Homo-oligomer: A and B are copies of this chain.
Amino acid sequence: MITTPHAIPNRHVQELRELRKKHLNPALSLSYQEPLKIVKGAGAYLYDEQGNAYLDMVNNVCHVGHCHPAVVAAGQAQMAQLNTNTRYLHDNIVEYAQRLSATLPQELSVVFLTNSGTEANDLALRIAKTYTQANDIIVVDHAYHGNSPSMIELSPYKFNSKGGSGRPAHIQVAEIPDDYRGRFLREDPQAGERYAQDVQRAVHDIHQRGQQPAAFYCESILGCGGQVVLPPSYLQHAYGHARAAGAVCIADEVQVGFGRAGKHFWAFESQGVVPDIVTMGKPICNGHPMGAVVTRPEIAQAFLNGMEYFNTFAGNPVSCAMGLAVLDVIQDEHLQKNAAQVGDYLINGLRSLQTRHPIIGDVRGMGLFIGVELVKNHEDKTPATKETRSIIEYLKTHRILLSSDGPHDNVLKIKPPIVFTQANAEEFLQRLEEALLV
C-alpha cells in the first residue's frame, strides 16, 4: 500500500496563533501586530488566504522570486530521482562546486556545503582555527553571524542584547564603520582607513591577553548593524591589519551575495579585496536549506588534519540541483543587472524623497540591499524608532511588506527578491511618501 499525503487542515488565524502558543518555540515572534497568514508566493509577491497580494520587500531568501518555476522544477525532478549523501559520487555536487567557484576570484576554489548560513559560519570558524592554530576572533559591532552557540558568542547583535551574556573574552569587537552615525563621516575620504584602525586595536588587545587572532569576520554590507555600506577601502585596511597578525579574513555574504549588490556578484568585490573564506546562505537555493563555505586550497588542505567534515544532508543532489537552478536564473534573467538598475532607481527615488522629508536622515545601499535611516532631526540624529514602526504598519495596510533593523531599530531594511521591478519601486516610493505624510 502506498500512502498519499494526508490533507492538512486549513485553520483560522486565531486557532493558528493559539496552537503556535501551545506547541511552538515561544522565542520566535510573528511579523506585525496582526500577523498575516500567507499561503502562496510568486515572484516578488506573497498572498494571504483571501488572495490579497503583498509586495515582498523583506525577503532576501526567495532571491530570484518566490516559487521560481525553474528552481521548483529542478527541485521537483531531483527529489523524485535521488536524494542521498555525499559519500557517493554524483554529478550535481561537482557541477555546483565548479559553477559556484567560477563566480568567485580564482583562488577561492574549494567548496564546503552545509544546510544553512549558521552552519557555514560555524564551519568557517573551525577552518580558521585549524588553519591558524589560534583561537581569538575579531568581529564588527552589531554583527549577526548565526544562531548556534558559537555564532551567538561572536555576534554582538546577540550577546549585547536582551538575554545575552556580554562579550566573551576571546572575542574582540571592532567599531562599526558607520559613516552616517559613527566617528568618521562620509565626507571624510579616509573614513574607511580610520575605522579599520580599530581592527588593529582589536589585534593589539588579543596580543595583550597572550593570544593570537584566528579570524576577522565581516559582513560585506552590514545587515543588523543597519544596512551599512562599508566606507571605501575599509576592508582593504581591516584585512591588512588582520592578516599582518596571522588571522584569516572571512566575508559573510549570507545576506548580500548572489548578485543582490548589483554592480558585483559578491558584495566584498566592491571593496577591492579577496577574502580567505566566503560564507553563504539565505539566497543560495531560493529558500531551500543550504549554505556554503568557499576557501583557498591551502586553507582547505590545512583543515584536513584527520578529522572528517561530513554533514548528513549537505550537498545532497536536490540541494545542488536547486542551487544550480538559482545560478542559471540569475544569469539567464540578468537579475544582477536588474538589481543594479532597479536598485539605483530606488536609491535615487529615496534621495529625492529625502529632500522633501527631513525624517529621512540617510539613504544608503548597493543594488537591492538598501537602508533608509529615519531620524527626528539631522543635527543630533535622534532615532525615529516609533515612526519607523508606524511606517511599516502603514505599508502593510497597503500590502507592502517591509521591516526595520539597526541598533536603534530606525532603519527601513529594503531587500526584496531581485526580480523586483521599477514599477514595484515606483509603487513603494509612492506609498512610502504617503506614509511619511500621515
Chain A interface residues toward B at CB < 8 A = 1-6, 8-11, 13, 16-17, 19-20, 22-31, 35-41, 46, 59, 61-62, 66-77, 79-95, 97-98, 101, 109-113, 115-119, 122-123, 125-126, 130, 147-150, 152, 158, 161-164, 281-282, 286-290, 300-301, 303-314, 316, 318-319, 321, 324-325, 328-329, 332-333
Q: Which chain B positions have C-beta within 8 A of A79?
A: 67, 72, 75-76, 288
**Residue in B80, B88, B312 whose CB lies within 8 Å of A117:** B312
State whether B97 touches A125 (Cβ < 8 A): no
State whether B116 touches A30 (Cβ < 8 A): no
**Residue in B23, B40, B152, B161 whose CB lies within 8 Å of A94:** B23
**Can you tell how many copies of this chain the complex includes?**
2
Q: A111-B25, A162-B307, A289-B115 are in contact. Are A40 and B82 (CB under 8 A)?
A: yes
Q: A80-B72, A97-B23, A163-B307 are in contact. Are A29 and B87 (CB under 8 A)?
A: yes
In the complex, what distance in Å separates the CA atom of A94 from the CA atom of B306?
Answer: 43
**Nearest 5 A-B pairs (CB), nearest first?**
A162-B306, A163-B307, A163-B306, A23-B97, A163-B305
30 CB < 8 A contacts A-B: A4-B70, A5-B70, A5-B328, A8-B92, A11-B94, A13-B89, A16-B90, A17-B89, A20-B94, A22-B110, A23-B111, A25-B112, A26-B300, A27-B300, A27-B303, A36-B89, A39-B90, A41-B82, A46-B82, A61-B313, A62-B84, A66-B84, A72-B79, A76-B80, A115-B289, A147-B309, A148-B149, A150-B150, A288-B313, A289-B313
State whether A307 touches B38 (Cβ < 8 A): no
Q: A41-B83, A305-B163 are in contact. Are A73 and B4 (CB under 8 A)?
A: yes
State whether B110 touches A26 (Cβ < 8 A): yes
A407 to chain B, nearest CB (A): 16
In the complex, what distance in Å separates the CA atom of A6 from the CA atom of B288?
Answer: 19
State whether A94 touches B36 (Cβ < 8 A): no
State whether B67 touches A83 (Cβ < 8 A): yes
A178 to chain B, nearest CB (A): 23
In the complex, what distance in Å separates the CA atom of A147 from the CA atom of B313?
Answer: 12
Interface centre among A67, A88, A310 (most CB of B within 10 A): A88
A86 to chain B, nearest CB (A): 6
